[in-house]
Structure 1
Amino acid sequence: MSAESTGSRGFTYWRLRFRAWRGTRPFWAGLFTLLGGLPIAYFPYAQLHLGNLTLAMSTTAGAGSLIIGVLLVTLGLTMWFHSIVRVFAGVAAILLALVSIPVSNIGGFLLGFLLALLGGALSISWVPGRPPARSAVGREAPRRAPEPDDGDPFLPAPREGENPNVTDTTAHANGGRKSAG
């Protein structure tokens, strides 16, 4: 412990820890899926009181709504804590959201349906980022521009007879390509 530290971890420390944790998993997908399960499970059992009038949304499919809602909450937590199965959880969330339309009051009055559908789509499309390259000292190595010969399949290869070090952003009017004449 240094002489300058107070000995307690402040808000900034926990905020940065949460930010690092959130960046390694499909956080927003899990949150939307979890929030989508709540109205689907809640509305069939809710009672709205308007003066002396009680409005109950109870249906015969109340048990099905509860099961769908609990499964969506579970899938949302699975996306957070077991991100390796994010594609399965996303597909299952989309299918449960679609099943909730006829079973659970039009998918929790479309609120739960749309949140679960968005969460499932985000979970399927989320891909973990590449970890930063480390140097021998342990600090991040300076980032360099990718070379065309790095083997990256998403970078276009130079055309025949082109200089690979000249790109379309050069100051030359022809983009660094050889003229036809």
Structure 2
Amino acid sequence: MSPESTGQNEHYIRVLRRRFRAWRGHRPFWAGLFTMAGGIPIAYFPYASMKLGNMTLAMSTTAGAGSLIIGVLLITLGLTMWYHSIVRVFAGVAAILLALISIPVANIGGFVIGFVFALLGGALSISWAPGEPVDADGKAPVAEVPDAERPEGELQAAAVPQQQGSGYDLAADADGGRHRAG
């Protein structure tokens, strides 16, 4: 590139990493990854066979189709957590239930590996919450109480920032939130 060029001077790998980090930050990424990682051994082990010299060790069971269905559903739920994060609670509960069902159906939940990953992914999906939007100056948004909801005679107080764990409780008053008439 010449010094007069208006193009980016950053390496394309840095740009891709930054885009991936931004994409990953707006969805339950680790929940989806653990759920998909749990679905793979649950679906794979009933159809796998190992060769020990001339002897073949088959781990197949009569419930091979059930474990394949559970594994494919867990992989689908993991992708759903990534691309439709609005249904993350449903996907998390479904992943936990499928992980529990995989214990009797799919070789003890994919030899416990798939069970633990699917259970962890479901729990992470249920507990994930989208972040608060940030203003252009990098400050958290400020919640203001509309004048119509303010009782008569109360002065307009400064806006209190709504942050998790900030110690402010706007809903509770000294009388438990009830206002007495008269």
Deviation at 1:40, TM superposition (A): 0.1
- State yes or no: 1:23 paired with 2:25: yes
Cα pair distance change 1:24/1:52, threshold 3 Å: same
Residues 141-178 of structure 1: per-residue CA shift (max 9 Å, x gap): 1437x898517485246x99xxxxxxxxxxxxxxxxxx
| Mapping 1:48-63, distance limit 5 Å | 48-63=50-65
What is the match of residue 177 of structure 2? none
Q: What's the secondary structure of 1:49's corresponding residue?
A: strand
- State how far apart, in whole Å, the 1-side matches of 2:32 and 2:119 are: 11
Deviation at 1:4, TM superposition (A): 5.5
Kept in 2, the 8 Å contact 1:148–1:156? The answer is no
1:33 is matched with which residue: 23, 32, 35?
Answer: 35
What is the match of residue 127 of structure 1? 129
1:143 is matched with which residue: 139, 143, 147?
Answer: 139
- State yes or no: 1:95 paired with 2:97: yes
The gaps in structure 2 that reach 5 residues or longer are 143-156, 175-182
The gaps in structure 1 that reach 5 residues or longer are 134-139, 161-181
Matched residue type, 1:115: F
Q: What's the secondary structure of 1:129's corresponding residue?
A: coil
Kept in 2, the 8 Å contact 1:25–1:80? The answer is yes
TM-score (normalizing by structure 2): 0.76
Once the two structures are aligned, what percentage of the paired residues are identical?
Answer: 65
- State how far apart, in whole Å, the 1-side matches of 2:27 and 2:103 are: 28
Matched residue type, 1:44: P
Cα pair distance change 1:100/1:148, threshold 3 Å: farther
Q: What's the secondary structure of 1:55's corresponding residue?
A: strand
TM-score (normalizing by structure 1): 0.76
RMSD: 2.9
Cα pair distance change 1:148/1:32, threshold 3 Å: farther
- State how far apart, in whole Å, the 2-side matches of 1:39 and 1:115 are: 10
Q: What's the secondary structure of 2:50's corresponding residue?
A: strand
